[in-house]
Amino acid sequence: MLKGALIAFGIMIGAIVIPGVHWVSIWFGPFLAGFFGGGIAKADEDKIVKFGLLVAAMMIVPLAVALGALFLFDIGGFIRFFLIVMAIVIVPYTWFGVTLGALMSYLSRKKAIERAAAEEAEAASS
């Protein structure tokens, strides 16, 4: 599960780094990260929430860097307010998006397995 969580974290960070595109991709990054990372981790109904929590916990590192920069460089005004609000919002948003993406990944894998089993049973009966 750690490998999938690291890949999901990399997808989210990658969505932030791309100039210009990040204005759109940053909002869908956690969902896509959960979908692909959850597929790699093979997160099933018992592991989906744990997977989301693990990836959200990894977001504490960029959060700590942002808050460290806030206090180290004595940033004030609107930028300070924005960074504090983002620090409060980013971890729950990440958890929700990653968990939802991992759930969709699980449901699509489950449906594919059921479809393959049905086709196999149909082929065996013919």
Q: What is the DSSP letter of 57?
A: H
Own/partner contacts of 74-82, CB < 8 Å, gap of 24 or more, are: none
d(CA 46, CA 114): 19
Model pTM score:
0.81
User: What pLDDT sits at residue 43?
Assistant: 87
Domain boundaries, the chain: 2-125
Q: What tokens does 58 get?
A: 């990894």
pLDDT digits (tens, 9 = 90+) for 40-90: 998 888 889 999 999 999 988 888 887 888 778 877 788 778 878 887 888
pLDDT digits (tens, 9 = 90+) for 100-113: 999 999 999 999 99
Whether the pLDDT of residue 1 is over 90: the answer is no
- Please, are residues 4 and 33 in contact by the beta-carbon 8 Å criterion? no
User: What pLDDT sits at residue 51?
Assistant: 92
d(CA 43, CA 106): 7
Of 12, 82, 14, 25, the closest CA to residue 52 belongs to 12
